Amino acid sequence: MPLENATYIDTLVPDWPTGPSDPVNIGDDNLRMIKKVLQNTFPGTNAPITGTPEQINNITLNTPWIDNSATAGALSNFNLTDPKKADGTLAAVAVATPTIAQANANTNLAMSIALFFQIQYPAGAEFRSYTDSRNPADILGFGTWEAVTGLIAGVGAATDSQGYIQNYSAGYQAGYWRVQNSQIVASTLSLTMEALPPHQHDYDFIQNSGSGMQIDATYDAFQKIEQQTSSVSAGTPVGTVTIGAGTATDSTAFFNPYYGCYIWKRTA
């Protein structure tokens, strides 16, 4: 039998050497050839391989390569299946979650649900729900959150229809639920009457004769008398008007219609 000239495991001839007819002097050549084949086949094996046959087999059997190159627009991919099932059921994949900085630096990383949440809800981000009042840490499974209450305004300068600019700053800002004097644009409200020239008013009366409120025979009829009024200048104040009936603390609160929801801010 001649000496084998194998390079990889698949080129070894399993029936060689054939037996007593093989020269003893080529035995050492066969041993060197077997070492070469092993090193060529496993060139990166510089440490123990501790995987069990089942684990190693599952790597190849349950991670088939799906070649979609013949279909326009389709993406070829590895399809990870559950090694305990033979029907092609996909297996869940658990991976370490990188930091946001690591994800930004390695744009080809597969995104886990944990990484997605970390990107969507970094420290300082807002979480809201219209029905669930739980702390987001109980819903998302991470982060430290504090509840945000009150009306929400975008930080920055806003201009109203009169051209007035109001600046909104970050964080909680105390305001007023009831309109105070300081929130009412100053204006003077006075009640006046038009100018009236001097004039007379007539009125009738019954002359009292003295005792017993008897009508005197001489003045047995209504008497008429005239009395002249004083003049009134234009714009003469005649009274004041009070606007509002509540106090700063117990009157009806004034606020816009709203739609309430649960809002949280991530602090860590």
Tens of each residue's pLDDT in the chain, 268 residues = 577 888 999 989 888 887 777 777 788 888 899 999 999 999 999 999 998 988 888 887 888 888 999 999 999 988 888 888 888 898 888 778 888 888 888 888 877 888 888 888 999 999 999 999 999 999 998 999 999 998 888 899 999 888 989 898 888 888 888 888 888 877 766 777 776 677 666 655 555 545 554 444 454 445 555 666 666 666 666 667 777 777 777 778 777 788 899 999 999 9
Helix, strand or coil for residue 145? strand
Are residues 128 and 263 in contact, defined by beta-carbon separation less than 8 angstroms?
yes
Tell whether pTM > 0.75. no
- Write the single-letter amino acid at 189: L
Sequence-distant (≥ 6) Cβ neighbours of residue 195 within 8 angstroms: 231, 232, 233, 234
Sequence-distant (≥ 6) Cβ neighbours of residue 68 within 8 angstroms: 74, 75, 76, 77
Helix, strand or coil for residue 246? coil
Helix, strand or coil for residue 263? strand
Gap between the Cα atoms of 136 and 128, Å rounded: 9
Question: For residue 48, is the peptide bond before it cis, meaning its omega torsion is within 30 degrees of 0?
Answer: no
